[in-house]
Amino acid sequence: MGKTRTTSAEGRERQRLPARRFRTTSPAALRADSVDGGSLLAPLLGLTDRAFSDCPDLADGAMEKMSRVTTALGGSVLTGRTMHCHLDAPANAISVCRDAAQVVVAGRSIFKIYAIEEEQFVEKLNLRVGRKPSLNLSCADVVWHQMDENLLATAATNGVVVTWNLGRPSRNKQDQLFTEHKRTVNKVCFHPTEAHVLLSGSQDGFMKCFDLRRKDSVSTFSGEATEAGPWEWAMAGWVPVLPVLSCHILRLHHSFAHGPTQDAESTANGSRESWGCPLYPLGLCSGPQAGQSESVRDVQFSIRDYFTFASTFENGNVQLWDIRRPDRCERMFTAHNGPVFCCDWHPEDRGWLATGGRDKMVKVWDVTTHRAKEMHCVQTIASVARVKWRPECRHHLATCSMMVDHNIYVWDVRRPFVPAAMFEEHRDVTTGIAWRHPHDPSFLLSGSKDSSLCQHLFRDASQPVERANPEGLCYGLFGDLAFAAKESLVAAESGRKPYAGDRRHPIFFKRKLDPAEPFAGLASSALSVFETEPGGGGMRWFVDTAERYALAGRPLAELCDHNAKVARELGRNQVAQTWTMLRIIYCSPGLVPTANLNHSVGKGGSCGLPLMNSFNLKDMAPGLGSETRLDRSKGDARSDTVLLDSSATLITNEDNEETEGSDVPADYLLGDVEGEEDELYLLDPEHAHPEDPECVLPQEAFPLRHEIVDTPPGPEHLQDKADSPHVSGSEADVASLAPVDSSFSLLSVSHALYDSRLPPDFFGVLVRDMLHFYAEQGDVQMAVSVLIVLGERVRKDIDEQTQEHWYTSYIDLLQRFRLWNVSNEVVKLSTSRAVSCLNQASTTLHVNCSHCKRPMSSRGWVCDRCHRCASMCAVCHHVVKGLFVWCQGCSHGGHLQHIMKWLEGSSHCPAGCGHLCEYS
Amino acid sequence: MNRGGGSPSAAANYLLCTNCRKVLRKDKRIRVSQPLTRGPSAFIPEKEVVQANTVDERTNFLVEEYSTSGRLDNITQVMSLHTQYLESFLRSQFYMLRMDGPLPLPYRHYIAIMAAARHQCSYLINMHVDEFLKTGGIAEWLNGLEYVPQRLKNLNEINKLLAHRPWLITKEHIQKLVKTGENNWSLPELVHAVVLLAHYHALASFVFGSGINPERDPEISNGFRLISVNNFCVCDLANDNNIENASLSGSNFGIVDSLSELEALMERMKRLQEEREDEEASQEEMSTRFEKEKKESLFVVSGDTFHSFPHSDFEDDMIITSDVSRYIEDPSFGYEDFARRGEEHLPTFRAQDYTWENHGFSLVNRLYSDIGHLLDEKFRMVYNLTYNTMATHEDVDTTMLRRALFNYVHCMFGIRYDDYDYGEVNQLLERSLKVYIKTVTCYPERTTKRMYDSYWRQFKHSEKVHVNLLLMEARMQAELLYALRAITRHLT
């Protein structure tokens, strides 16, 4: 692949580097750097002054070494290529040496240093020595000191923190062992500028700060949540019994108290009020579940603020600490839902902190303001294990995930949906990432569970942006069209006339460019909006039609008539004509029997069969009518009653217009098998209301609460149902009736045609084509409405998928127009399973308590926290458990029925507040 | 076979006990269920549970909301001693049985039946047979595994392994299930099934561990209900549920004074906590302690009780007579000590390499949304639940004890925590408790009231239920970890 070219950025880098060298290496510089609290540092680090005075050569030595390193870097240019090498075992973490030429890899059974050469990684040192490696070597994390290239620290899974000195002459480079944590140590972190300060964060909920010149930790920070509870102690002025584990805090505290500075004094005083918080976890509380400190997942020293460090916790919190004040954190905020696995301070922007969590998000916080402010949020596809700001690119950061996803992404936080770059080398999850040099944005190193170590070159990364579709097209609700595309593309096309074939002519062409577009180079796009003519119809007809159409609840003929009327009033004559046609086709009394004769009875010239007594028919009509209603409201069960359905419409129809061939229905009945006739008669006693079918209509209105049918989702159910004998039986019915249902004649006006007895399938095809035609025209409303109104008669002619597609598009349209009621009705009336389960999903409505404003989790009407019932009826003074209606003026309310009744008699609020409530 | 530990008298006693069992099983007439006590549990006096219940309105709320059967069953009653936990338990159970999920409802119940059948838990089986039919399951399936679709049958292998030796699950098992074909499982379905299996295996542990009685009013028998077989020995019956009458077991375990036993435990906890600061066990010692604990778990329980009998003999005897067997295949497959197969040298599961918090959760939540949060909450809840009491003592930090219980269960499943000193287990968990733990988690169907009574005799029943909850959740987590790890490996 060849060698890297020296990019211009690198060239720049070379010149800029020296300027930032040695910011805070010597104690003097250190003090100067921290004007506000430099004197405080002395007691904390305890030995700083003495140490430096005792061994000046050490400090000098460090300085000398560092200057050499930097010079070396300044003089050389990083080169390399995308490469990887195989490790013997999965890596858990990696860290880069300051010289950018070495990388350390640590894992459960690996701990090695590799030199990064131009063409390959070369194993330089194996730190895992000894015959029987102990658990101290099973590393969860590793960090290389950024000031001292001989100093490393590891966090062991058994809770030990180990430091390593590469300068040791012996084979075993192990330097110090801190065994203060009780649980796995998740993270270690060196102070960016101070040579001897090491911080660790552990599963046991504590963070410890070590001074490497001492045998044990100088301070302990407890990650206990400080929310509620502990403050009573402070108020009572009672000093709690110190549990054993907090002895470090105590010790440290004493050192503060004895310290000479006034600040230390005030720390001691100030800390009393918060004593409760670090001590609380240790089993002294009375609540059954408090008392568990949250595990620390990451700790990071701020790069810009000398005393600050951030820690992240398993419960989603992030805390900011001042290293001088171990008694309580400076600030705490909840950053994620679930554990926060990692955090990283921005190298340049003071107070920018990136956090990554199990909730698959990366968030960038500005913590300089009073409240931590979420600046950016990137949604990834898997839980975020590591996050690292990209050097020299203000808005870039690299992430890798904990599970499932093996790639490394580099994001521009301003563009949270598409990663700027993607590295796909690893075959298992990436566990550690590090930029090779703090001022070089093009080299990324990574270690993975697939036992490999990789160097990625930014220019070799794949860029998902390039594969993304840069054009976007969207229809507005009222026929407007928005179109976004690359600017170059649009510029070329803009001269062209807009497409004129559309009924809704675009009248003007608007271009709007966002001046603050951050990705000018990547995707500068133009947004065009085509608006419809103001008077050009719009979508009013759609809304009106949707609202006024009747889809069920009446006999077919009436539905058709009604809908035809609606369409005509809206000036849609073709549609109106169609409805009329449908009515004629399906509701003309003469037709169905003709077809029926044709098929069930045979070709035996059945026209001449004797008349049936007409009272039979009359008796039957109402019963059947109500049966139809029942059937419609059920939707699903429709197939069972198909027979009745069709004959009912037939018969009611017959009632309505006794014009032509009233003898033919009789033929129908006679022509049928005797058994079926009995079936029809059987229904009579059940519906002994010989009124006309209209009277049952009110029951068809929507019930306030519709029954939720507990049907399991998924295809299995369908299958199951089909298997059960009952349904298959009814399906048989359908089959036998099929010819009857679908038969119709185009020429119902002229009697000639049905004399000639066209095959019924002929008409089914025609209706189907008609529906397809409307759907293709974009009038899916018509297609769905006809589908619902005709029900079984046409359903079988159209394949399930198409129906489902129509339904979903229509429902989608209705919902965009906020016609919720209509859309629900359509959902309810649909027979497609996928559609009818739509309104069974997410039927939960979450409510908050009206007193304490907390969400009410268990019950909708009683609050767990304040134990009050949230909504009382102002009329009956009982708890409202169902529909609650309240006045928006005085916020009193109650049971819907009660309020309705009350307001019939009075216009004042039932609660007696004097408000004149209105109910509409 | 000298299994070490365990006085001869104990062995004799159990020997008798096992004989009772055999007699009991041979003579089928005695098998008609006869609850040992009234109330929800055979181990816990009714008044203990009921007392707690009347106070607790919350429980009723919960039951109303989350119970699938719509009534306060015995499990819920016993668990309601720990209302906080009960809530997360019921919520997650309700979610996996009733809410959005990839599997159809009858499948879910059938899987529950299959899981419970691995431990011959007739209580759970009956419960879910009813629910299975109620949710529209095909009655024919209840005749046995031959009648179910091949797809469900394929789940058998993983059910068997999960229940008894979860460490044997490999990605090949997963591959076999998900590879495309007629009866394949999609990953979300599989995860749902695995969660259900693990849940019901663990719940079976709880049912036996707390001696849950069969529901009092067996509704109109639908023909598929099993005759409840109480797994308690006749000599337990003789025991008359009287704690004071525990002289038998008392002498068995050679405990002179249970009061001093408690004091001793407290003392040990205190000492451990102090020692922790100074004493530094060498690394080698730490790892040997785990091995030791693992090995020792071998001899616990089974050593005295059952291994003196030809293993298979007993199992066959037990299972063949049981109606339960129609839901399972390979009934003789049982728990085998993790530590015993030294020759095969199964690698220890390093808890740090695949944790629930980091890995398990992410995977489960990805494939079966939201269950992760519910399980997470449940695990946290049970792990952190404490009233800071131990028997009569108050203000005790029981963290150590809880952790020991949890980790001991995981230890028996071969899961090791690097940061845990397994010496603590030895210090904190007395032998009779270990016997109980091992039985409940590995062969729950063999739990007897004697075992329940014989440990921690000063402790309250609610505390023992707490122990049971810990065991149950630890077991569930262990099973899930193994299964999910296999799925992860399949994915990578």
Instruction: Give the count of Cβ contacts less than 8 A between chain A and B.
Output: 134
CA of residue A456 relative to chain centroid, distance: 31
Contact A140 B277 (CB under 8 A): no
Q: What residues of chain A lie within 8 A of the CB of B399, using their CB? A: 283, 291-292
The answer to whether residue A767 neighbours chain B at the CB level (below 8 Å) is no
Burial of A366 (0-12, 13-18, 19+ CB in 10 A): middle
Banded pLDDT at A584 (limits 50, 70, 90): confident
The answer to whether residue B274 neighbours chain A at the CB level (below 8 Å) is yes
SS3 B388: coil
B83: closest CA among A849, A229, A228, A288? Answer: A288
Q: With b meaning 16 or more CB within 10 Å and e meaning fewer, what string describes B61-83?
A: bbbeebebeeebbbbbbbbbbbb
CB-nearest partner of B61 from A282, A429, A859 = A859
CB-nearest partner of A383 from B350, B362, B418 = B362
Q: With b meaning 16 or more CB within 10 Å and e meaning fewer, what string describes A82-99?
A: bbbbebeebbbbbbbbbb
Q: Is the pLDDT of residue A410 over 90?
A: yes
Pairing of strands A111-116, A893-895: unpaired
What's the rounded Cα separation, in Å, for the pair A41 and A264? 10
For residue A264, count other CB atoms closer than 10 A to its CB: 21
Contact A712 B135 (CB under 8 A): yes
Contact A283 B396 (CB under 8 A): yes
- Give CA separation, A648 vs A628, A645, A670, in Å: 7, 5, 16
Q: What residues of chain B lie within 8 A of the CB of A291, using their CB? A: 384, 386, 388, 397, 399
Query: What is the value of pTM for the model shown?
Result: 0.63
Query: What pLDDT is stored for residue B27 in this prediction?
Result: 43
For residue A854, count other CB atoms closer than 10 A to its CB: 12
Both tokens of residue A363?
């968030």
Compute the residue count for chain B.
492
Restricting to B residues 377-406, those with a Cβ less than 8 Å away from any Cβ of A are 381, 383-388, 395-399
For residue B129, count other CB atoms closer than 10 A to its CB: 26
Q: In what order do the strands lie in the sheet with A506-512?
A: A472-475, A481-486, A525-532, A506-512
What's the rounded Cα separation, in Å, for the pair A380 and A354? 14
A105: closest CA among A83, A128, A82, A72? Answer: A128
CB-nearest partner of A179 from B65, B280, B417 = B280
Both tokens of residue A717?
């159910």
Higher pLDDT, B314 or B474: B474
CB-nearest partner of A292 from B283, B366, B384 = B384
Query: Mean pLDDT in chain B?
Result: 74
What's the rounded Cα separation, in Å, for the pair B108 and B94? 11
Between CA A121 and CA A129, with CA A126 as vertex, the angle to 5 degrees is 165
Q: Is the pLDDT of residue A143 over 90?
A: yes
Banded pLDDT at A142 (limits 50, 70, 90): very high
Q: What is the mean pLDDT of residues A464-469?
A: 78
Query: What pLDDT is stored for residue A820 in this prediction?
Result: 87
Query: What pLDDT is stored for residue B472 in this prediction?
Result: 93
CB-nearest partner of A720 from B136, B274, B384 = B136
Give residue-wise pLDDT tens across range A238-252.
Answer: 333 333 333 343 333
Q: What residues of chain B lie within 8 A of the CB of A712, using their CB? A: 104-106, 135-136
Q: What residues of chain B lie within 8 A of the CB of A708, using their CB? A: none
CB-nearest partner of B358 from A244, A285, A402 = A402
The answer to whether residue A40 neighbours chain B at the CB level (below 8 Å) is no
Give residue-wise pLDDT tens across range B187-212.
Answer: 888 999 999 999 999 999 999 988 88
Q: Are A336 and A297 in contact (CB under 8 A)?
A: no
What's the rounded Cα separation, in Å, for the pair A289 and A286? 8
Q: Is the pLDDT of residue A355 over 90?
A: yes
What's the rounded Cα separation, in Å, for the pair A509 and A443? 46
Contact A720 B396 (CB under 8 A): no
Restricting to A residues 853-882, those with a Cβ less than 8 Å away from any Cβ of B are 858-859
Higher pLDDT, A872 or A736: A872
What's the rounded Cα separation, in Å, for the pair A549 and A821? 13
Banded pLDDT at B83 (limits 50, 70, 90): confident
Shortest distance between the Cα of A859 and any Cα of chain B, in A, equals 8
Q: What residues of chain B lie within 8 A of the CB of A135, using their CB? A: 283, 286-287, 418
Q: Are A667 and A602 in contact (CB under 8 A)?
A: no
* Amino acid found at B279: E
Banded pLDDT at B481 (limits 50, 70, 90): very high
CB-nearest partner of B388 from A244, A283, A295 = A283
Mutate to test the interface with A, among B272, B283, B400 (most CBs of A within 10 A): B283
Restricting to A residues 818-857, those with a Cβ less than 8 Å away from any Cβ of B are 841
Shortest distance between the Cα of B472 and any Cα of chain A, in A, equals 19
Higher pLDDT, A539 or A12: A539
Instruction: Give A896-914 as a DSSP string.
Output: HHHHHHHHHH-SB-TTSS-
CB-nearest partner of B286 from A132, A158, A182 = A158
Restricting to B residues 349-378, those with a Cβ less than 8 Å away from any Cβ of A are 350, 352-353, 357-359, 361-363, 366, 373, 376
| Token pair 């629900």 in the structure block, residue | A824
The answer to whether residue A135 neighbours chain B at the CB level (below 8 Å) is yes
Query: Mean pLDDT in chain A?
Result: 68
Give residue-wise pLDDT tens across range A766-799.
Answer: 888 888 888 888 888 888 998 888 887 788 788 8
Query: Who contacts A179 (Cβ-Cβ below 8 Å, separation ≥6)?
Result: A159, A160, A161, B280
What's the rounded Cα separation, in Å, for the pair B432 and B305? 13
Q: What residues of chain B lie within 8 A of the CB of A134, using their CB? A: 282-284, 287
Q: Is the pLDDT of residue A740 over 90?
A: no
Burial of A375 (0-12, 13-18, 19+ CB in 10 A): middle
Shortest distance between the Cα of B396 and any Cα of chain A, in A, equals 7
What's the rounded Cα separation, in Å, for the pair A486 and A519? 12
Banded pLDDT at B276 (limits 50, 70, 90): low
Instruction: Give A179-238 as a DSSP string.
Output: ---SS-EEEEEE-SS-TTEEEEEETTSEEEEEETTSSSEEEEEE----SSSTHHHHHHTP
The answer to whether residue B407 neighbours chain A at the CB level (below 8 Å) is no
Q: Which of B17, B121, B233, B442 is an active site residue?
A: B121
- Give CA separation, A109 vs A96, A131, B316, in Å: 19, 13, 44
Give residue-wise pLDDT tens across range A569-579.
Answer: 888 888 898 89
What's the rounded Cα separation, in Å, for the pair A842 and A44? 56
Restricting to B residues 417-446, those with a Cβ less than 8 Å away from any Cβ of A are 417-419
Domain ranges for chain B:
74-203
Restricting to A residues 380-399, those with a Cβ less than 8 Å away from any Cβ of B are 382-383, 385
Q: pLDDT over 90 for what percent of chain A?
A: 16
Can B411 be counted among the known catalytic residues? no
Restricting to A residues 187-206, those with a Cβ less than 8 Å away from any Cβ of B are 203
Contact B384 A429 (CB under 8 A): no
Give residue-wise pLDDT tens across range B422-438.
Answer: 888 888 888 888 888 98
Q: What residues of chain A lie within 8 A of the CB of B286, using their CB? A: 135, 158
List the domains of chain A with CATH numbers.
83-224+292-395 (2.130.10.10), 472-493+500-530 (no CATH), 540-586+762-840 (no CATH), 851-919 (3.30.40)
Q: Which residue of A has its CA nearest to B418?
A: A158
Residue A374, phi then psi, degrees to nearest 5: -80, 120
* ipTM for the assembly: 0.75
H-run or E-run covering B367:
helix B361-367
Shortest distance between the Cα of B395 and any Cα of chain A, in A, equals 6
What's the rounded Cα separation, in Å, for the pair B409 and B434? 10
Both tokens of residue A764?
């089914």
Q: Is the pLDDT of residue B112 over 90?
A: yes
Contact A403 B280 (CB under 8 A): no
The answer to whether residue A431 neighbours chain B at the CB level (below 8 Å) is no
Q: pLDDT over 70 for what percent of chain B?
A: 68
Q: Are A839 and A827 in contact (CB under 8 A)?
A: yes
Burial of A476 (0-12, 13-18, 19+ CB in 10 A): middle
Contact A403 B366 (CB under 8 A): yes
Query: What pLDDT is stored for residue A746 in this prediction?
Result: 38
Banded pLDDT at B37 (limits 50, 70, 90): low
B123: closest CA among B200, B52, B22? Answer: B200
CB-nearest partner of B386 from A183, A291, A716 = A291
Contact A716 B107 (CB under 8 A): yes
Both tokens of residue B475?
């077991």
Q: What is the mean pLDDT of residues A616-636?
A: 40
Burial of B50 (0-12, 13-18, 19+ CB in 10 A): middle
Banded pLDDT at A804 (limits 50, 70, 90): confident
Banded pLDDT at B358 (limits 50, 70, 90): confident
Give residue-wise pLDDT tens across range B144-158.
Answer: 888 888 888 889 889
Give residue-wise pLDDT tens across range A56-75.
Answer: 343 344 443 443 334 344 44
Query: What pLDDT is stored for residue A422 in this prediction?
Result: 92
B437: closest CA among B467, B476, B415? Answer: B467
Contact A292 B399 (CB under 8 A): yes
Contact A382 B366 (CB under 8 A): yes
Q: What is the mean pLDDT of residues A543-558?
A: 86
Q: Which residue of B has its CA nearest to A246?
A: B277
For residue A289, count other CB atoms closer than 10 A to its CB: 16
CB-nearest partner of B105 from A284, A285, A712 = A712
Banded pLDDT at B283 (limits 50, 70, 90): low
Both tokens of residue B137?
């399951």
For residue B16, count other CB atoms closer than 10 A to its CB: 13
Query: Who contacts A542 (Cβ-Cβ below 8 Å, separation ≥6)?
Result: A781, A813, A817
Q: Which residues pair with A530 in a beta bridge?
A: A481, A509
Return the CATH fold of B74-203.
AhpD-like (1.20.1290)
Shortest distance between the Cα of B450 and any Cα of chain A, in A, equals 30
SS3 B366: helix
Lowest average pLDDT, out of A344-353, B20-29, B221-230, goes to B20-29
Q: Is the pLDDT of residue A226 over 60?
A: no
Burial of A866 (0-12, 13-18, 19+ CB in 10 A): middle
B347: closest CA among B485, B171, B484, B167? Answer: B167
